[in-house]
Amino acid sequence: MLQDAKEDCESEKEAHKLDKMLEDHRTSLYPGCEQGHKKLDTTLEFLQWKAKNGVSDKAFGDLLKLVKNNLPEGNKLPKTTYEDKKIVCPLGLEVQKIHACPNDCILYRSEEYENLEACPICKALRYKIRRDDPGEVDGQLTKKRIPAKVMWYFPIIPRLRRLFRNKGNARMMRWHTEERQQDGMLRHPADGSQWRNIDRKFKDFGKDARNIRFVLSTDGMNPFGEMSSGHSTWPVTMCIYNLPLWLCMKRKYIMMSIIIQGPKQPGNDIDVYLRPLVEDLKLLWKKEGVPVWDEDKQEEFNLRALLFVTINDCPALSNLSGQSNKGYKACTHCMDETESTYLKHCRKVVYMGHRRFLAANHPVRKKGKHFEHNADHCTKPKHRSGKTLFAMVKDLKVVFGKGPGSQLILSEDGHVAMWKKNSIFWELPYWEFLDVHHAIDVMHLTKNLCVNLLGFLGIYGKSKDTLEARNDLKHMEQRGDLHPEPKEKGSHYLSPASYTLSKAEKESMFECLESIKVPSGYSTNIKRIISTKEKKFTNLKSHDCHVLMT
């Protein structure tokens, strides 16, 4: 394997590192070692044990020192975690550290921007100014300069090549064709219509089961504190849908492709950071693909790949798609057919007209008492094809960045426009032929739905049934039985709605929840997330919401 890797080396420096690895592979762990233990093999075994058991670097370093002291004198075992990793570093994958404008205008890459000292759009400096740095002395920098913002890109093509070098992984990449149960049931994305449409539209791509379908996900996170929103670093991950369900979401097969440095989120300018990834995806889509060795079939083939869909929460979906997620036209499905209104007292936009999604002969469509006093015979909004969406955004011209010249795109009525940009994903040749481009992740959907349902029950801290909500009902002249009734000293009486639980009903519900017993590992201890005395839920997680709803 090391000899094959040496043949693939593109530089003399990499070849020298692999020569050193070959030497370590032949070097005995200590003089006179009769068991045949080698320096490289032992180092790899230690690192494998560290990763398997989740041992910290400090504890691992202490273990290495202890073992080294107990081995015969002159042994070659590394004594620190750093030395241990350095021995196997030639087997590591490439990481590109790319400087970025602090206002997210550009990346300092390619011939156009690589050697610039300041952003040509917002004029922000590329490097931080250090007070203790005198600058240049005799034409030489006195200290290494620190970039104002950095992104890390982990090229996906070398990682795919390594994936197919493993015989088991190479075989599993064909699972969706050779081993998947095909009985008409929807168990895997390969059972869905989008997968079949891709195979019909791009027959050359669907012909080889090894061609990859990626799923992209991203979200902001704070690496310095889970509950703080003061810092937002954005990792971009890629999953492989060729794999079976029990593997495609395992950490082993999730590829970290980009890390966007904080402290501020990229927002609408995330396209700037996706550029290197999109360039690799374009290369993987070409008919000739990239040459890859298949260890299972013992042959070289041309690997191709496409981006199947993105899965995110609503804010990240808006950033990736370029479609606004707030305002009067915020529905990603209805778009310009969104029925919305502004609530004067709650001071927010809400979305109406849900009866149009019911069947045409559904009896609720004719009930007007609880729905704006009229029947609803409207048809549901039509599904827009990729070509239709591309026609809507192809002429949008946006200058990325958060500098002085940045501004929102407004519609003719002065509100925020439905589209904020022409997303970088439209550069992919196949993107306009996909039926679904962006999906909402189940985790956030489940939690939002559960919290909203609890809000109807009058649970403390979760209720949406407030004086402002009742005043809005009065303003819209709906549900007269729920209008607030003025009392003395300016207070109001809110009559209980049909969905509001009484005190006795709340006690009964919380006692029932407290008595529930589930198998170990099924869910969290429900007693920890409820307060029977105060009649409220605390610290609800997404999985807790899923369990409560099922």
Give the mean pLDDT of 222-233: 76
Q: Is the pLDDT of residue 112 over 70?
A: yes
Neighbours of 315 (CB within 10 A): 15
For 58, the enclosing helix (H) or strand (E) is helix 57-70
Vertex 104 angle, CA 101 and 105, to 5°: 75
Q: What distances in angstroms separate CA 118 from CA 106, 122, 150, one per listed residue?
A: 10, 8, 14
Q: Rounded to two decimals, what is the model's pTM?
A: 0.82
pLDDT in tens, 122-177: 888 999 887 665 555 444 554 678 899 999 999 999 999 989 988 999 999 999 99
CA-based nearest residue to 306, from 441, 194, 185, 161: 194
The Cα–Cα gap between 172 and 189 comes to: 15
For 507, the enclosing helix (H) or strand (E) is helix 503-515
DSSP letters spanning 243-261 = S-HHHHTSGGG-EEEEEE-
Give the pLDDT of residue 226: 65
* Ramachandran region, residue 244 (left: φ > 0; alpha: ψ -120 to 50; beta: rest): beta
Higher-confidence position of 383 and 459: 383
Neighbours of 516 (CB within 10 A): 12
DSSP letters spanning 361-406 = T-GGGG--TTTTTS---PPPPPPPPHHHHHHHHTT-----SSSTT-
Q: CA-based Rg of the chain, rounded to a whole angstrom? A: 29
Sorted by where each begins, the domain ranges of the chain are 2-91, 151-333+383-440, 442-454+500-550
Q: Is the pLDDT of residue 489 over 70?
A: yes
Residue environment code for 7-46, b if the CB has 16+ CB neighbours within 10 A, otherwise e: eeeeeeeeeebbeebeebeeebbbeebeeebbbbebbbeb
The Cα–Cα gap between 246 and 248 comes to: 6
Give the pLDDT of residue 544: 81
Q: How would residue 14 be classed by pLDDT, with cut points 50, 70 and 90? A: low
pLDDT in tens, 256-313: 999 998 888 898 899 999 999 999 999 999 999 999 999 999 999 999 999 999 999 8
Q: Is the pLDDT of residue 415 over 80?
A: no
Q: Is the pLDDT of residue 65 over 80?
A: yes
pLDDT in tens, 369-413: 777 677 888 888 888 888 989 988 888 888 888 876 555 555 555
Higher-confidence position of 9 and 69: 69
The Cα–Cα gap between 100 and 106 comes to: 6
